[in-house]
Structure 1
Amino acid sequence: MGLFEDLSSFLESRLEEFLRSNPHLELQALADKLADQESEAVRLLGDLRLREKQIEAEILETAQEIQRWHIRIEKARSANRLDLLKPAEEREAALLRQGNQLWGQMELVKGRIQQTIDLQRQIQVRCQEVKVKLAEAEANRAKAAQQTPKANGTEQQWQTIGWNQGYRSSNSNMGAADPLEQSFRKWEMDEELEKLKREMGR
């Protein structure tokens, strides 16, 4: 296992352990995931709509070209210009083939648009269900907090606050402006000093 796999495995197991200890946050994690999925569906739908417009424009342009070459074919046939008639017919056939391919692409895009709309609706329904369950879990947790020891309730409250706030680290200046990081570093350094003193005093 590489470093990335080790860290991924640790993160996954730690997250599972954390969510087992905080079942109400498991619903919040699901709500977050659904929100991400809905954002992705909205983005995909926008991309598909844009592609649909592009294909429509290409179909219109191809149809106009077919019309133009069809008129030229009739003109060449009427003037008995066989040297121009055959190449013009070949050009029209190529354009008809291109138009047919574009129609096929349009059908595929329209199908994907409908699938994405259906998926978005399903996600929205699921979001509503999770919101209801979250409200129920929050009410149950508040009720349970009144009946359990205060220390445990406070710990869960801190974890909930931390989960909802999120965290963004700055790799270039990590910990420089983070009071919590500084407090832990000071504590850890004090512990190291105490350990050194004990070893030297032996």
Structure 2
Amino acid sequence: MGLFDDLSRFLENRLEEFLKNNPHLELEALLEQLREQEGDTLKLIADLKVQEKRSQDEILATAQDIQRWHERVQKAKNGNRPDLAAAAQEREAALLRQGNQQWGQMQGIKERIQQAKELAQKIQLRRQEVQTKATEAQATRTKNQAQQKIDSNGWNSPSSNYSSNFDDLEAKFQRWETEDELEQMKRKMGK
């Protein structure tokens, strides 16, 4: 695993170096990451709202059960059936406890929805800030490239033919120097 760890570290360092040398790409990567986080947060809010609706439906069903069992308690008491009245009261009490738990769960879901909405707003603000920086960086880069083009065109335009001849000459000298070095090395190895 040491080789893979070293390779991973090397690639991470290279990526960091590359992003430092190309800050506009770093901003683009950050923007993409923020877009993904915003999407994930909005999906979480939607999921939590579905859970909230389900929880509300469960509470409503439990409330209807409580009401039905409360009526049965009264009916059993009026019908002089203390055994049924006691059992119905126990059932009503159990449903009240269940309803309280469901209510607490729904309140927890509502709190999570609120927190997720606040997080989504923070992410959106951060994304807008980074987008502004990215736009500024792009404008600066474009301006610098245009200035470099103007500078290089002004410098090379009178004698552009001369510069291409110079590049050919440079290449010929480099080839000749390399061949000469190889010949010298062969001679040294032959001795």
User: Shorter-chain-normalised TM-score: which range?
Assistant: 0.7 to 0.9
Residues of 2 paired with 1:59 and 1:138: CA distance?
54
- Tell me, yes or no, if structure 1 residue 130 matches structure 2 residue 137: no
CA 1:6–1:54: 2 relative to 1, 3 Å:
farther
- Map Cα deviations across residues 60-99 of structure 1 (whole Å, 9 max, x no partner): 0000000000000001111121121111111101100000
CA 1:80–1:20: 2 relative to 1, 3 Å:
same
Unaligned ranges ≥5, structure 2 = 151-191
The residue type equivalent to 2:20 in the other structure is R
1:15 Cα deviation from its structure 2 partner: 2.0
Residues of 2 paired with 1:132 and 1:45: CA distance?
26
Unaligned ranges ≥5, structure 1 = 151-202
Residues of 1 paired with 2:80 and 2:91: CA distance?
18
Instruction: Give the structure-2-normalised TM-score.
Output: 0.73
Which residue of structure 2 lines up, in the alignment, with residue 70 of structure 1?
70
Residues of 1 paired with 2:3 and 2:62: CA distance?
54
Which residue of structure 1 lines up, in the alignment, with residue 33 of structure 2?
33
The residue type equivalent to 1:124 in the other structure is Q
1:2 Cα deviation from its structure 2 partner: 5.9
State the aligned residue count: 151
The residue type equivalent to 2:74 in the other structure is E
1:148 Cα deviation from its structure 2 partner: 4.5
Instruction: Give the structure-1-normalised TM-score.
Output: 0.69
- Map Cα deviations across residues 24-47 of structure 1 (whole Å, 9 max, x no partner): 111111101100100100110011
Which residue of structure 2 lines up, in the alignment, with residue 196 of structure 1?
none
Report the RMSD for the aligned CA atoms in angstroms: 2.1
1:129 Cα deviation from its structure 2 partner: 1.1
- Tell me, yes or no, if structure 1 residue 82 matches structure 2 residue 82: yes
Residues of 1 paired with 2:115 and 2:4: CA distance?
35
CA 1:87–1:48: 2 relative to 1, 3 Å:
same
**Equivalent residue runs for 1:1-202 within 5 Å:** 1=1, 5-6=5-6, 8-148=8-148
1:7 Cα deviation from its structure 2 partner: 5.4
1:146 Cα deviation from its structure 2 partner: 3.2
The residue type equivalent to 2:68 in the other structure is R
Residues of 2 paired with 1:10 and 1:50: CA distance?
45
Residues of 1 paired with 2:76 and 2:8: CA distance?
70
